[in-house]
């Protein structure tokens, strides 16, 4: 039973305090309104707890792994303790490495650089570009979009059965889609990968902020996620998992911190002995505030309790879906169908509207921030919209060119810091826009739909 199913009847808790909850924005129609931030899938606001923890540490900031002074020692301990906290949050195995990176994109590019020679990579076309694109120096098989979780497993099994069984292989899969919010069958995909001698990396960028992620329970080899989606927007990410490929690879960046010993050779060159720990791939001065903020967010989410967090988010998902059910012009995008479990990420299109025009009106007339476009998942959105995979998307124009399809959608996303009122106001705004139309005129400027002045 999934956590979402198990938590369905739990009491709904209050939203976690986040920065920006009291921000007001001007409306093009006059006056101001409290800003409804409903673009969590792009970047979630910082938890107040994270901000407070970072502010308390900031006066004690010092160089990490570099100094003998008190502040350097304190910062080093804080940085390494953050690594331990993240490992516990992810349920890592005892010998797993936790590497701090800049983002999910950075984490997966790091892993791509660490692949053994002749490694085959299998990735569904439905992935975010962060997990779709880093593997191009390897032998990559792009798998067609499945229409059920079972079909996803069967598609992977067929592809793996046809590979060279003697070479290394890696499967990359998302935990929750950044477009549809749907949960993928990670545990079953991991079992299929391992049955065919392959390893698997989980892109948990959209899963970790909404749902518990346990490396051992899911039986994945690596997991990657970003701090800025986990309520810790300080430019840091994580790659955690098995150490052997990472130890055998050349450092992701060459420089101080990654090197254990450097010496001159008689021929004028240098010999380098690299660390085998996570430091091997963390050259340069590390982002200690970013690492600490991730650890703080991990603690805050764990202490709040996943059952309560998931139950409350599902309450918000139901609010959106039930509201949309009253508007026949709205079509929710989905791979796995209406009943598929999902996190607080919903993409949709509105009949008769260009999605950029609709999103611009939500912002300018209602103070509601959503996302429009192809969401850095172009193949997936094109599949969901039924468009030609080669067609060019005109994401910013309020009207498509004559004879051209408008290839964009609208995405609303929310999480632990979202008040009920923001979601309710969003649903009411959608209904009003569909019924009455926009109150203002809009034009295209630098590829974006903006209010006409």
Q: Give me the catalytic one of 92, 172, 298, 376.
A: 376
Beta-strand pair 139-143/169-174: unpaired
Compute the distance between CA of residue 453 and CA of residue 12 in angstroms, rounded to an integer: 43
Interhelix angle 149-161/186-195, rounded to 10 degrees, is 10
Compute the distance between CA of residue 439 and CA of residue 350 in angstroms, rounded to an integer: 17
Dig out the tokens for 271 from the structure.
């010999």
Q: Encode 2-34: b = buried (16+ Cβ within 10 Å), e = exposed.
A: ebbeebeebeeeebbebbebeeeeebbeeeeeb
Contact 169, 163 (CB under 8 A): yes
Contact 240, 226 (CB under 8 A): no
Does 449 qualify as catalytic in the annotation?
Answer: no
Contact 270, 262 (CB under 8 A): yes
Contact 169, 119 (CB under 8 A): yes
Residue whose tokens read 């009106």: 361
Contact 86, 233 (CB under 8 A): no
SS3 per residue for 94-144: CCCEEEEECCHHHHHHHHHHCCCCCCEEEEECCCCHHHHCCCCCCEEEEEC
Neighbours of 387 (CB within 10 A): 15
Q: Give me the DSSP letters along 400-425.
A: PPTT-----EEEEE--TT--HHHHHH
Contact 448, 359 (CB under 8 A): no
| Distance from chain centroid for Cα 367 | 24
Neighbours of 324 (CB within 10 A): 20
**DSSP-derived 3-state class of residue 49:** helix
Dig out the tokens for 132 from the structure.
């779709």
List beta partners, residue 183: 176
List beta partners, residue 203: 174, 224
CA 253, 375, 232, 174 torsion-angle sign: negative
Q: Which helix (H) or strand (E) holds 259?
A: strand 259-264
Q: Which helix (H) or strand (E) holds 190?
A: helix 186-195
Q: Which residues participate in catalysis according to the annotation?
A: 376
């Amino acid at each position: 039973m999934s956590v979402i199913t198990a938590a369905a009847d739990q009491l709904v808790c209050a939203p976690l305090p986040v920065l920006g909850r009291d921000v007001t924005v001007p409306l093009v129609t006059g006056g101001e309104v409290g800003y409804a931030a409903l673009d969590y899938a792009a970047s979630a606001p910082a938890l107040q707890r994270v901000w407070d923890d970072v502010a308390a540490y900031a006066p004690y900031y010092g160089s990490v792994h570099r100094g003998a002074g008190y502040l350097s020692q304190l910062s080093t301990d804080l940085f390494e303790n953050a690594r331990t906290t993240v490992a516990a949050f992810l349920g890592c195995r005892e010998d797993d490495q936790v590497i701090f990176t800049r983002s999910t994109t950075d984490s997966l590019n790091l892993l791509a650089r660490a692949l053994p020679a002749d490694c085959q990579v299998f990735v569904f076309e439905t992935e975010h570009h962060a997990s779709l694109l880093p593997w191009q120096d390897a032998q990559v098989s792009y798998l067609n979009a499945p229409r059920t979780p079972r079909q996803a497993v069967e598609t992977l099994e067929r592809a793996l059965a046809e590979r060279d069984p003697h070479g290394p292989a890696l499967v990359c899969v998302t935990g929750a889609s950044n477009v549809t919010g749907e949960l993928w069958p990670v545990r079953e995909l991991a079992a299929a990968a391992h049955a065919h001698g392959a390893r698997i990396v989980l892109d948990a960028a959209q899963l970790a902020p909404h749902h518990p992620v346990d490396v051992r329970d899911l039986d994945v080899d690596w997991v990657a996620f970003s701090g800025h989606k986990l309520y810790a927007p300080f430019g840091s990410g994580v790659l955690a998992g098995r150490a052997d490929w990472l130890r055998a690879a050349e450092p992701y960046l060459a420089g101080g911190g990654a090197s254990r010993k450097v010496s001159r050779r008689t021929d004028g060159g240098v010999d380098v002995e690299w660390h085998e720990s996570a430091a091997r791939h963390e050259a340069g001065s590390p982002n200690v505030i970013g690492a600490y903020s991730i650890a703080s967010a991990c603690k805050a989410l764990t202490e709040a309790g996943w059952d309560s967090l998931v139950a409350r988010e599902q309450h918000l998902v139901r609010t959106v879906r039930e509201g949309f059910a009253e508007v026949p012009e709205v079509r929710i995008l989905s791979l796995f169908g209406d009943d598929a479990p999902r996190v607080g990420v919903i993409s949709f299109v509105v009949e008769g509207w260009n999605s950029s025009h609709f999103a611009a009106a939500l912002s300018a007339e209602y103070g509601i921030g959503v996302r429009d476009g192809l969401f850095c998942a172009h193949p997936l959105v094109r599949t969901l919209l039924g468009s030609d995979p080669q067609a060019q998307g005109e994401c910013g124009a309020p009207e498509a060119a004559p004879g051209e399809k408008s290839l964009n959608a609208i995405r609303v996303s929310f999480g632990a810091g979202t008040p009920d009122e923001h979601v309710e106001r969003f649903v009411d705004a959608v209904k009003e826009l569909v019924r009455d139309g926009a109150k203002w005129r809009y034009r295209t400027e630098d590829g974006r739909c903006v209010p006409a002045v």
